[in-house]
Structure 1
Amino acid sequence: MQLSGIITALATPFTLEGAVDFEAWSRLIAQQLEGGVHGIVVAGSTGEANALDDGEYDALLQAAVRQVAGRVPVLAGTGTSNTAKTIALTRRAAQLGADAALVVTPPYVRPTQDGLIAHFRTVADQGGLPVVLYNVPGRTGCDMQPATVAGLASHPNIIAIKEAVDGEARMQTLLALRSPQFAVLSGDDPTASRAILAGAAGLVSVGSNAAPRAFRRLFDLAHDGRAADAQAQDGRMRGLHAFLAAEPNPIPVKALLAEFGYGHGLRLPLLPLSAGPRAGLAAIVAAVRDLEAA
């Protein structure tokens, strides 16, 4: 499997009563497919994976696999703080029909770099799915270094990395590891255009939940090497990038999705968008409508 393009890290919509809103889930997936995204992630950090029980996780993944019907890859978030649990969840995702596993560096436990190599190799050997490495130290307290990625990139069942560190030098180092079997994906919306112009295969995006067409356009321009046009498109999206960074993900994107009719609220300990960013929500809704219509 070769991953590329815009892969949306889907938010999980809830009803006013706090249950998973499967009707909104189906509409959100349909919107993504119509918007031209190249893949979706179910139950990643944007999807509040840690707030889902086992039955909800299974039902969300099954529903996504059924609706997508092979048109784009479906990635399942399966990373935990324990290798054996990660393997078990990856195997379950495989049984439910996922095409690949998005496996974050183990949160909280802070393994060594050698520990990360052992963890990911074991998951790739035993999990039953192609593995996408996911490095997001701002969330996990664990930063997987490029040299560690180099030690994993040749594994036949490790197919990509989602790199969420905002650093041009870091991205350039990772891009040197690209091969037909191993892709480098940005995990940072605001710098994705720069990364794709430099050779990244695509973006695992938060903002494409609300603006799939705009992000697909950004990818197409950057992938085609149309630097000036890609930078102009990115400039039109700066307000959206800033809004989505106003509070921890997925608080802002879920507030935005609610305005478009895709679910309500979050699960504790996450709280709704605070008054400051909410004051700009109407302007962002209007900007997203313009971006999607362009």
Structure 2
Amino acid sequence: MQTALNANQANQANQDFSGLWIPLVTPFARGKVDYPSLTRLVAHYRASGIAGLVVCGSTGEAAALSDDEQLEVLQTVMAEASGLLVIMGVSGYHLGKTAARIQALSKLDIAGILLPAPSYIRPSQAGLIEWFTTLADASAVPIILYDIPYRTGSKMELETIRALATHPRIQALKDCGGDPAKTQSLITDGRLQVLAGEDANIFTTTAAGGRGAIAAAAHLHTERFVEVVQRIRAGDLAGAEALWGPLPPLIEGLFTEPNPGPLKALLARRGLLRDELRSPMTRASAALVERLERLDAALA
């Protein structure tokens, strides 16, 4: 681990993760990754004003991709993402294998690694500190903590996150922790860049001083989401609220059934990809898609 730590001192400078990030879906066609559609998606969002893309997150169905597919998806996105920062999602529950993967990915020109707690294991807070510290030591690029207990089964306590924030490469937090008081404490504390991870919390988290959001719903009406974040950070709360007001019903609808099924249905209707997911994920129900189309059209 120490070799990676020493050989990449130049990469330890803080990365600015401010703004609106899209956790990119992974298109499929007849069971295989649809790389041409993936390239078109990246081109579609490249000039939208987003800060960058997150590859192989939960919205990208990363758990259904092999390691080789994940790497090829990342390389495909990076080849088309000129001018955009790219974050790579990494998850696992074997410390050595996860560290080796992070070391390999650190050799690529990525802005950071989005890293959750190990799933299924449910370690103690001391175990979580050991997990994230060991993996941050292995990385030559910044780490964004991903606090999402309803997926991992592990709740990261406030003091655990504060302790991890002392590591030079742990620089940001994707906040899906479901605890507004903890969110505000971390924003006030200022040691980590806090990004809203729940789309419904984009306005409140950013208005409270958060740096932005990683938002699946921003695949749709992207420029509007970007402008909401920009206006809040510029101090124009009234203008941001006017833009934000019509968005929550669409956001709620997109997560009525498991993500990214509803989102892919609407992207398919825009001609950006096929409405296809990998099992056990399933397509959105016809009734939900009909409701989402009405909500989507109202924002056009």
> Under a length normalisation based on structure 1, what TM-score does the superposition of the two structures give?
0.92
Aligned to 1:24: 37
SS in 2 for 1:280: helix
Letter in 1 for 2:84: V
What CA deviation, in whole Å up to 9, does each residue of 1:226-281 have, x standing for no partner? Answer: 22222222211122111111112112111121111222210000111023312313
CA distance in 2, matches of 1:138, 1:253: 20
Give, in whole Å, the separation in 2 of the partners of 1:118 and 1:167: 23
Contact 2:212 2:229 in 1 (8 A): yes
CA distance in 2, matches of 1:167, 1:222: 21
> Residue 272 of structure 2 aligns to which amino acid in structure 1?
Y
Whether 1:79 aligns to 2:121 is: no
Write out aligned runs for 1:10-49 (5 A). Answer: 10-15=24-29, 17-49=30-62
Indicate if the aligned counterparts of 1:153 and 1:177 stay in contact, CA closer than 8 A: no
Deviations 1:144-179 (A, max 9, x none): 111110001111011101011334212111112314
Task: Give the match for residue 271 of structure 1.
Answer: 282
Give the drift of 1:94.
Answer: 2.2
What stretches of structure 1 of length at least 5 have no aligned partner? none
Post-superposition CA distance 1:9-58 (Å, at most 9, x none): 1110111x121111111111112222110011000111000111122111
Partner Cα distance (1:263, 1:89) in 2: 29
Kept after mapping to 2: 8 A contact 1:61/1:98: no
Q: Could you tell me whether the CA contact under 8 Å between 2:250 and 2:292 is conserved in 1?
A: no
- Secondary structure at the aligned position of 2:33 is classed as coil
Query: Which residue of 2 is the match for residue 63 of structure 1?
Result: 76
After superposition, the C-alpha distances for 1:61-114 in whole angstroms (9 at most, x for unaligned) are 111112223x22210011212222221221232234322100011111101111
For 2:93, the aligned partner's letter is S
TM-superposed CA distance for 1:284, in Å, is 3.2
Unaligned segments of structure 2, at least 5 residues: 1-14
Q: CA RMSD in A?
A: 1.5
Say how many residue pairs are matched.
285
1:286 corresponds to 2:297: yes
Q: Which residue is 1:222 aligned to?
A: 232
Shift of 1:5: 0.3
Q: How big is the shift at 1:224?
A: 1.4
Partner of 2:19: 5
- Map of 1:101 onto structure 2: 113
1:220 Cα shift? 0.9
User: Counterpart of 2:5?
Assistant: none
Alpha-carbon contact 1:103-1:133 (below 8 Å) kept: yes
Q: Is the 8 A contact 1:14 1:20 kept in 2?
A: yes
Residue pair 2:195, 2:210 contacting (<8 A) in 1 also: yes
Which residue matches 2:138? 126
Contact 2:59 2:260 in 1 (8 A): yes
In the alignment, structure 1 residue 136 sits paired with structure 2 residue 170 = no
Q: Which amino acid aligns with 1:14?
A: F
Give the aligned residue type for 1:26: T
The offset of 1:197, in angstroms, is 0.8
Distance in 1 of aligned mates of 2:36 and 2:173: 31
Q: Confirm or deny: 8 A CA contact 2:37 2:273 kept in the other structure.
A: yes
> How far did residue 210 of structure 1 move?
2.1
> 1:197 — aligned with what?
207
2: distance between equivalents of 1:251 and 1:170? 30
SS where residue 189 of structure 2 aligns?
coil
Structure 2 Cα separation of the partners of residues 160 and 121 of structure 1: 14
Question: Aligned partners of 1:60, 1:148: CA distance in 2, in Å?
Answer: 32
**How many Å separate the matches in 2 of 1:111 and 1:201?**
29
The share of aligned pairs that are identical, in percent, is 35
Contact 1:132–1:161 (8 Å) recurs in 2: yes
Moved over 3 A (4+): none
**Are the aligned partners of 2:266 and 2:289 in contact in 1 as well (CA < 8 Å)?**
no
CA contact (8 A) 1:88 1:127 kept: no
